[in-house]
Amino acid sequence: MKVSVIIPVYNEEKYIGACLDSLRNQSEPPDEIIIVDNNSTDACTKIIRLYKEVILVKERIQGMSPARNKGFNTATGDILVRIDADTRLSPDWIKYVKKDFQKAHVVGVTGPTIFYDIKRKVPISKLHNAVYFKVLPKFYGYILLMGANMAIRKTVWEKIRNEICNDDSKIHEDIEITTHIAEHGKIVFDPHLKAEISARRLMKHPYSIVEYPLRWARSFAKDRL
């Protein structure tokens, strides 16, 4: 089972090194690491080139969805892992992903996240995880994939890639891909898939507390029409 890790980046010079180091330190390393440069203007691509194992590709259409799609379509692995440039995976993350996908009916897996750069990070992270992995699934009927900490089967991606909406202003990207994947099998929450993520977007743009749920609501309405 070959595992490809896809990381979309846009001006991530402060974070990408730690992310890649966490991949280098895996007990079972990924077979492929693909970084999609989404028109960065900082030094992140220079940092990326220091990691010789990384495949660096370019996506000129701006946005998380186009960058993600470029990486997924470029990858050669059986399992497609999607994380953010500020994600730091726990050392056994890849090992547990491989174990999860040994079950044929599993099409996607995700796991808990913790904010590493915010005060009261533990209670806030627990609240974030509870809302995303326990409350929202009650509306949908299945576990939702977390964009900074997820993996899917490539065979399923090939089935849905022409069906999903790629306009990030209209939908919640994580949930949009989840709703299509869920039609093809089971999505699993694995507590072993621990990942640290930055709370920088929340700290820099507090209005996202409102904007993010609005995009979730649009995704929910779209998927029910």
Closest listed residue to residue 68, CA positions, set 147, 140, 146, 123: 147
Cα–Cα distance for residue pair 13/191, rounded to 1 Å: 29
Q: What is the pLDDT of residues 172-197, one digit of tens each?
A: 788 889 999 999 999 999 999 999 99
Cα–Cα distance for residue pair 76/31, rounded to 1 Å: 9
Question: Residue 209: its pLDDT value, please?
Answer: 42
185 touches 81 (CB < 8 A): no
Cα–Cα distance for residue pair 148/81, rounded to 1 Å: 9
Q: Is 140 helix (H, G, I), strand (E, B) or coil?
A: helix
Q: What is the mean pLDDT of the chain?
A: 89
Cα–Cα distance for residue pair 28/217, rounded to 1 Å: 38
pLDDT reading at 5 higher than 80: yes
pLDDT reading at 167 higher than 90: no
164 touches 84 (CB < 8 A): no
Q: What is the pTM of this model?
A: 0.89
Closest listed residue to residue 68, CA positions, set 160, 205, 197: 160
Q: If you search the block for the tokens 């180091």, which residue do you land on?
A: 21
**Superfamily assignment of 3-224 in CATH?**
Spore Coat Polysaccharide Biosynthesis Protein SpsA; Chain A (3.90.550.10)
87 touches 19 (CB < 8 A): yes
Q: What is the pLDDT of residues 137-154, one digit of tens each?
A: 888 899 999 999 999 999
Angle, alpha carbons 57-44-208 (nearest 5°): 95
Question: Residue 210: its pLDDT value, please?
Answer: 43
pLDDT reading at 221 higher than 80: no
Cα–Cα distance for residue pair 94/4, rounded to 1 Å: 10
